[in-house]
Every structure is written in structure tokens, then in C-alpha cells.
């Protein structure tokens, strides 16, 4: 697993979002089109922003994301679906709207764009 975008925090209550990027054979991709994400954040909201920015940074489709998990310490807090929604770790179905912990908003996508621009500036100068 190659981690291309990462951030570390020394905070006992920090959240960590980790993703797994894979190729999509439906589009002739047999190797991951990008690196994985390993991002430490102070809030669940920031985890979602990092996930959305990572997805845009590598131009990933739903077939490229094997999983996106958020942990706090050793506890699995939730999973993030392609659209940026957060689901409880023990949710019986990702389609059960009542179980959604956090919706993704238009503002999230706008903030993720700002984060993406910062990453691009750091990566490409």
C-alpha cells in the first residue's frame, strides 16, 4: 500500500481516515490510479474533507475505492461511502438512510476543493 497523501497528529482523540485505491478492470485499469490516503484529523468533518479532496486529486471513480475507514485510536468509528456520507461501523446496510451518521454537503465539496488546491500547490509548486 503506497501512501501518497498523509498527515500525522499527536493527539489522543485524533481521528484517522485511511483509504485503499484500486484499479478498475472495467476501464482497463489493473494497477491503482493513485496512492492511498492516511490522514489524521481533529474532527470527523475534516476526515470527510480529506477523503473528498483525495478522491478529486486522483480523479477516482467509485470503482477505484476499495474502502475508506475512520478510526479513533483502535476503534472503528465509521466508513465513508463514495459520495462522502459517513456510516456506522456496524451498519447492516449502506442504504439505510436512518443509519447515516453524516451527510456530505455542497459546502463540504467546496472546502475539499480548497484543500485540494493546497495539496496541488505543495505537490507541484
Predicted TM-score (pTM) of the model is 0.84
Dist. CA 82–CA 94, nearest whole Å: 11
pLDDT digits (tens, 9 = 90+) for 52-61: 999 999 999 9
Dist. CA 66–CA 51, nearest whole Å: 13
* Domain assignment of residue 63, given as a range: 3-124
Could you tell me if 76 and 109 are in contact, meaning their C-beta atoms sit under 8 angstroms apart? no
pLDDT digits (tens, 9 = 90+) for 32-88: 999 999 999 999 999 999 999 999 999 999 999 999 999 999 899 999 999 999 998
How many domains is the chain partitioned into structurally? Answer: 1
Of the CA atoms within 13 Å of residue 122, those in its CB half-sphere come to: 10
Amino acid at each position: 500500500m503506497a501512501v501518497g497523501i498523509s498527515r500525522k497528529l499527536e493527539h489522543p482523540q485524533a481521528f484517522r481516515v485511511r483509504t485503499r485505491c484500486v484499479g478498475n478492470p472495467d476501464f482497463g485499469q489493473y494497477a491503482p490510479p493513485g496512492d492511498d490516503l492516511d490522514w489524521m484529523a481533529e474532527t470527523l468533518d475534516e476526515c470527510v474533507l480529506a477523503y473528498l479532496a483525495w478522491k478529486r486529486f486522483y480523479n477516482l471513480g467509485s470503482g477505484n475505492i476499495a474502502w475508506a475507514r475512520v478510526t479513533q485510536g483502535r476503534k472503528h468509528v465509521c466508513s465513508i461511502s463514495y459520495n462522502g456520507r459517513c456510516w456506522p461501523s456496524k451498519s447492516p446496510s449502506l442504504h439505510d438512510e436512518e443509519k447515516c451518521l453524516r451527510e456530505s454537503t455542497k459546502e463540504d465539496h467546496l472546502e475539499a476543493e480548497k484543500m485540494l488546491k493546497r495539496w496541488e500547490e505543495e505537490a507541484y509548486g
